Amino acid sequence: MQRRRRRTTLALGLLAAAALLTACTGSHHKDGDEQRPADPDLPVRTRAVAATDALLAAYDTVIAGPGAGRAGELQPLRAELLRHRAAFAEGLPSAAPTAGGSTGASSSTGSPGGSGATATATATASAEPAAVTTVAELGAAERRTAQARLADLPAASPDLARLLAAVSASDALHAVALGDTTPVTAPAPAPTAAASASASASASGPAAASSSAATSPTTPATTTGPGSPAASAAPLPDGTAAALQSALAAEHAAVYGYGVVGARLPDDQQRTDARAAFATHEARRDTWRRLLAGAGATPGAAAAGYQLPFAVADAAGAARLAAHIEARLTDVYGELVAALPADRRVAAADALRGTALQARRWGSAGTAFPGLPEPAGASPSGPAAPTPTG
């Protein structure tokens, strides 16, 4: 009897040990799942989805109301917004649109621990436009959203930054199509260590504050030109020089191409537009030169000559060449956004948006994602830009 009781006790002890081991193992896996690093892009994606949802809701309001007569014009823009949303929502839990095709910010709140819900609520509060009831207000909402997306460029991974820049450019195109031609301006840069030093100096006394403010990098920068503070010369991390050299080479070709464009246009508004574009490309060329020189690299020189992608004999051919030059440059600047360090991405995004707007102005069909590669199987946008001949 004693022996039997001992065996029972041993068996119960083994079972208890096994149960304890199983519980510990399960707890370990659970803890491991909870401690798994979160996707660093999750907050940015969540804000982007919420901002797009707000625009979609605005489109629905306008189409159902005073914009009903322009539904044929508005629906294609709304369809592009749905594509933007799908791209931003990729990888987010429960971020699908509703069955009716419209979306709600609450549909993208799924996240372990509820952090996604909190981020979405915050994003929705900041992204929700004021009551949008007219087409003009819808255009302004598109412009504000284009501008707001730039604020997340430094916080995004390179690929997501490129997507943000592309969608921001698309939003700007929508705004212009809806009649809003107000320039997009970049938000003020986030505070940096230098800005903190400036704040400390301010607390030290008026004289010190004045001296520090003169060199503070937190002055709001506009994206109306590539020579903004975000594009000033400074040492660059490894891997960015090649992308800058590509952008510089593309601008050399663009400057040459616009010389041909201007010579084939009559002395009218188109020639004026071509001269303005020529000056813009010269300015961007010089900006990339300065950045490369500041990084200790030798900026590439223009080629002795360039081969045009097709013959340009008249004004129609000149406009076609201008459209091709700008469309190809959007791809170059999409790659540059991804390649540049976080604090310099706005300058490349500005160039991307500018080339996308110019391409549309010259007659390019455009795309929902300017600066991103066309999906597999899609038709190319046309011949390449001018290429060096030697």
- Convert 297-334 to b/e letters by CB count within 10 Å (16 or more is b): bebeeebeebebbeebeeeebbbbbbbbbbbbbbbbbb
| pTM (2 d.p.) | 0.73
Residue 164 contacts by C-beta under 8 Å, 6 or more apart in sequence?
Answer: 44, 48, 149, 150, 152, 153, 156, 349
Q: Is the pLDDT of residue 229 over 50?
A: no
Mean pLDDT of all residues belonging to the chain: 76
Q: For position 77, what pLDDT does the model report?
A: 97
315, 355 Cβ separation under 8 angstroms = no
CATH superfamily of domain region 222-388: Ferritin, core subunit, four-helix bundle (1.20.1260.10)
Q: For position 43, what pLDDT does the model report?
A: 94
272 pLDDT band (50/70/90 cuts)?
Answer: very high
Q: For position 145, what pLDDT does the model report?
A: 97
Residues 292-339: pLDDT tens digits?
Answer: 998 889 999 999 999 999 999 999 999 999 999 999 999 999 999 999
HSE (side-chain half, CA atoms, 13 Å) at 259: 11
Q: Is the pLDDT of residue 217 over 70?
A: no
List the domain boundaries for the chain: 42-177, 222-388
Residues 10-54: pLDDT tens digits?
Answer: 333 433 443 443 444 444 444 544 555 678 899 999 999 999 999
Q: For position 36, what pLDDT does the model report?
A: 56
CA 379 to CA 390: how far, in whole Å?
A: 29
Q: Is the pLDDT of residue 117 over 50?
A: no
